Structure 1
Amino acid sequence: MLKTPIARGVALATLGATLAIPTLAQAAFIEDTKASLELRNFYYNRDYRQDGANQSKQDEWAQGFLLRVESGYTEGTVGFGVDALGLLGVKLDSSPDRTGTGILPVDTSGGAPDDYSELGLTAKAKVSQSILKVGTLQLKNPAITTSDSRLLPSVMRGAQLVSNEIDGLTLDLGYVDQINNRNSTNYQDMNVNNAGKDITGRTESDEFVYLGGTYKVTKDLSASYYYSNLEDLYKQHALNLIHVLPISEGQSLKTDLRYQRSTDDGNSNVDNKAFGAMVTYSLSGHSFGLGYQKMSGDTGFAYVDGNIDPYLVNFVQIGDFGKTDEKSWQARYDFNFASIGIPGLSFMTRYISGDNFERAGVSEGKEWERDTDIAYTFQEGALKNLNIKWRNASFRSNGAGDDMDENRLIVSYTIPLM
């Protein structure tokens, strides 16, 4: 990833791609190109509530600019293209005693720089219904998902092949050698998350591979299987079944079942079985969900450390509830106000409670989290498509974990450029 201003970087990338493609093949390449600029304003506040906390709070405010360019493909049996992701974060408010929010980097003095920027380029090739991408990747599947929950998204460097040659079947395989976190401009090796996971022998790895697929068994049922390996640290098998039962018009029952088996890969003690289930009943604009998650084995759930979202039903705003032997349940309610004539307004609240895990000085660890999201997208007028979201969360633990209250206010607006 190049540490250059966005405008200059994208201009150079576009010029390079144009010169590299023969003139006669540029028609579809240019005509199918899509470009957009997202303006993302992010305020983050986290107050630590336990006695003796190392930091009383994290509190920062920043403005993000996300430029996404996706080219079409050249003509011919094999079509070639290039994508660009330009990112710029600008500090609006911060101080050394309030850093660590994840929306701004932390420099050597403990403060946040005035701005940070990066440019990611991805070469791609398409044959029939198969697409190969090499370079900067944003991944989302049961094996690995890069986070986009702060000012700028995290990305990875590697290669990905997605194939849809068989009707109803999507095959997905990839190789990654480094990760670039959401508040960084530098690539680095990977490790395994160890927040309450009791994983030992952790060493950095520069190879993560995965292979899997999703098959649409019927129009209401899909099944997926993924195998992944973080070299020297863990191997994982992941199974997922999702079924949606239509009951009547505006009424359905969705069942989401997940199982993952993780074992060590030589340099760790990873040993975990993770089971999760989420059942959601929807009626008009209302959705009622109940979830259950259980960990078993010598360690907690294994996944790549850094800004990666684990594929767990009880991974929420703050916690993942994936500690060693932890059992947790979730109750969730969503409401879409479009059902009562207010399109663009939505509400979500959930409560998660976990127990049965060991904590230092505590016979049985217990923790809970409560989340609330309220979002509105303007539907018309001068502010059409402007989105405002408020996210609130509280987390409490009886062990060594941090007690915290958190608020995030995100205002975003996407401008189509092409």
Structure 2
Amino acid sequence: MLNKRISLIALGMLSATQAMANDQAESKGFVEDSSLKVLLRNAYINRDYKDGNPDKAEWGQAAIGTFSSGFTQGTVGVGVDAFGLYALRLDGGKGRSGAGGIDFFKQGDSGSAANDLSKGGAAVKFRLSSTTLTYGDQMPALPVLNYDNSRLLPESYTGTLITSKEIKGLELNAGRFTAESRKSAEGRDSGGLKSINVLGGSYQFTEQFKAALYASDVEDVLKKQYVNANYVFPIDKDQSLTLDFNGYRTKLDDSYVRESGATGDDNKIWSLAATVVTGPHSFTVAHQRSTGDSNLGYAYGGYQKDQGRVGDGGNTIYLANSYWSDFNAEDERSWQLGYGLDFSAFGVPGLSYNVAYVRGDNITTSTSEGGTEREIFNQFKYVVQSGPAKDLSVKVRSSILRVSQKSSEYNVSGNELRVFVDYPINIF
């Protein structure tokens, strides 16, 4: 059914005759609008696990090159996107690598992580008016299929994606992807994904109000729906209140329930966050709730073959209380208090700080009910504002996560440290 819907919406996008926008008419040419960028990334993650679990850590240096051409001129423009990735392991060999939540370098049969890895990909793209069809290797960023770029190298997917922006404020997306490239391994089909269909869009109703609705179907795994509503209330100069609602509903396929050992097939999870900004300060209060009969809670991301996950992107969790823990267990309820500070108001532009405390309770596992977890999250980030190192960023974040014994089947206690240094270079 979703295949038919994607085909119909794609046909409608490409045959639109009363477009309100026409990006193709503004095309300067294949070469003239092209860009080549390189991101140099040095990343380190250390997880000091508690309760007798071995510590894990990985450290690596990466180079991420991306090329994006412009579109040829004419009624239908043609272009090419391509990327090349290389990572060198600096630490995290046998015994230290292998944590699913880190996953810089995939372990081999010997238990040792690879010394380095390299891969690339390319896609061809076509544009008619303000509708673009892209086929090939891509990094989609949608609420139901969002590639993970929060580790050393990014994930990528192979398939077709149509993006339409014919009407001002409205973006529609339809796509089908048939291969997933794991962020820690070489090859185009290292993630175990059979296929995923995606469909949906977002609309900016007013300057203050935006909403989105998306759906996906991961073959032989699950079907997922997502809804978002975001409203910004201007209060005064440099003051505002933002209300942000996000919700997912997932339904596991019967075959996946049997294979994964899940106790149920249904999960609903939502979060509502209220953020007050006044000058350089921001204050956040959020509540998140998971319901349903699946002991997997809200399932997303990961790699089916070796992690028992679903393969729809490591960042496919647009929820307020997702830090180290996602607070997405069966029946879990969680609350967050957060604070942010922009130091530019104090003469240090580019420096920011965020802290959050999240507590979850009512966790259900196969052996217990009423489990709890709590996390304290801290992050400093600095972006160089000028000079030869302009745009270089340093991000240091830490989490202290404590999980009750009742919840040990769902999560594990520990202390986490992440240090990321990103240096983007615009070659042209």
Shared topology, TM-score over 0.5?
A: yes
After TM superposition, list the pairs within 5 Å mapping 1:10-409 onto structure 2. 28-51=29-52, 53=53, 56-100=54-98, 101-188=102-189, 206-267=194-255, 268=257, 269-299=264-294, 300-306=297-303, 307-359=313-365, 361-398=367-404, 399-400=407-408, 401-409=411-419
C-alpha displacement at 1:315, in angstroms? 4.7
Tell me if the contact between 2:399 and 2:416 (Cα under 8 Å) persists in the aligned partners: yes
Q: Deviations over 1:79-101 (max 9, x none)?
A: 11111111000112232011123
User: 1:195 corresponds to which residue?
Assistant: none
- Separation (CA, whole Å) in 2 of partners of 1:78 and 1:329: 50
Q: Aligned in 2, Cα 1:174/1:111: closer, same or farther, shift over 3 Å?
A: same
Q: Aligned in 2, Cα 1:264/1:409: closer, same or farther, shift over 3 Å?
A: closer
User: Gapped runs of 5+ residues in structure 2?
Assistant: 1-26, 258-263, 304-312
Q: Aligned in 2, Cα 1:162/1:335: closer, same or farther, shift over 3 Å?
A: same
What one-letter code is carried by the residue in structure 2 that aligns with 1:407? Answer: L
C-alpha displacement at 1:266, in angstroms? 4.0
- Separation (CA, whole Å) in 2 of partners of 1:303 and 1:411: 27
C-alpha displacement at 1:223, in angstroms? 1.1
Q: Aligned in 2, Cα 1:394/1:186: closer, same or farther, shift over 3 Å?
A: farther
- Separation (CA, whole Å) in 2 of partners of 1:45 and 1:167: 45
What one-letter code is carried by the residue in structure 2 that aligns with 1:175? Answer: R
- Separation (CA, whole Å) in 1 of partners of 2:299 and 2:56: 27
Q: Deviations over 1:11-67 (max 9, x none)?
A: xxxxxxxxxxxxxxx97101111011111011221111113x2xx211222110000
- Separation (CA, whole Å) in 1 of partners of 2:89 and 2:301: 28
Q: Deviations over 1:295-334 (max 9, x none)?
A: 1111122334345223342452321111111111111111
Tell me if the contact between 1:189 and 1:206 (Cα under 8 Å) persists in the aligned partners: no
C-alpha displacement at 1:371, in angstroms? 1.2
- Separation (CA, whole Å) in 2 of partners of 1:305 and 1:414: 27
C-alpha displacement at 1:362, in angstroms? 3.7
Q: Deviations over 1:264-305 (max 9, x none)?
A: 344234212222101100001111111111111111223343
Q: Deviations over 1:124-175 (max 9, x none)?
A: 1111101111111212222121111111111111111110111221101111
Q: Aligned in 2, Cα 1:217/1:27: closer, same or farther, shift over 3 Å?
A: closer
What one-letter code is carried by the residue in structure 1 that aligns with 2:317? Answer: Y
C-alpha displacement at 1:394, in angstroms? 1.6
- Separation (CA, whole Å) in 2 of partners of 1:261 and 1:333: 29
Which range moved further: 311-320 or 385-394? 311-320
- Separation (CA, whole Å) in 2 of partners of 1:264 and 1:41: 37
TM-score, structure 2 normalization: 0.84
- Separation (CA, whole Å) in 1 of partners of 2:137 and 2:240: 38
Q: What secondary structure sits across from 1:359 in the alignment?
A: coil
- Separation (CA, whole Å) in 2 of partners of 1:408 and 1:274: 27
What one-letter code is carried by the residue in structure 2 that aligns with 1:339? Answer: A
Tell me if the contact between 1:314 and 1:328 (Cα under 8 Å) persists in the aligned partners: no
Q: Aligned in 2, Cα 1:343/1:113: closer, same or farther, shift over 3 Å?
A: same
Tell me if the contact between 1:205 and 1:232 (Cα under 8 Å) persists in the aligned partners: no
- Separation (CA, whole Å) in 1 of partners of 2:383 and 2:421: 10
C-alpha displacement at 1:205, in angstroms? 5.3
Q: Aligned in 2, Cα 1:61/1:353: closer, same or farther, shift over 3 Å?
A: same
Number of residues paired by the alignment?
377
Which range moved further: 26-35 or 42-51? 26-35
Which range moved further: 98-107 or 280-289? 98-107
Query: Does residue 412 of the first structure (1) align with residue 422 of the second (2)?
Result: yes
Note the aligned Cα RMSD (angstroms).
Answer: 1.8
- Separation (CA, whole Å) in 2 of partners of 1:241 and 1:72: 33
User: 2:306 corresponds to which residue?
Assistant: none
Q: What secondary structure sits across from 1:254 in the alignment?
A: strand
C-alpha displacement at 1:353, in angstroms? 1.0
Same amino acid, percent of matched pairs: 33
Q: Aligned in 2, Cα 1:312/1:172: closer, same or farther, shift over 3 Å?
A: same
C-alpha displacement at 1:395, in angstroms? 1.4
Q: Aligned in 2, Cα 1:312/1:378: closer, same or farther, shift over 3 Å?
A: closer
Q: Aligned in 2, Cα 1:312/1:164: closer, same or farther, shift over 3 Å?
A: closer
- Separation (CA, whole Å) in 1 of partners of 2:223 and 2:422: 38
Q: What secondary structure sits across from 2:370 in the alignment?
A: strand
- Separation (CA, whole Å) in 2 of partners of 1:329 and 1:298: 21
Q: What secondary structure sits across from 1:339 in the alignment?
A: helix
- Separation (CA, whole Å) in 1 of partners of 2:108 and 2:86: 17
What one-letter code is carried by the residue in structure 2 that aligns with 1:83? Answer: D
Q: Deviations over 1:74-125 (max 9, x none)?
A: 1111111111111000112232011123122222221122211000111111
User: Gapped runs of 5+ residues in structure 1?
Assistant: 1-25, 191-203
Tell me if the contact between 1:236 and 1:260 (Cα under 8 Å) persists in the aligned partners: yes
Which range moved further: 36-45 or 262-271? 262-271
TM-score, structure 1 normalization: 0.86
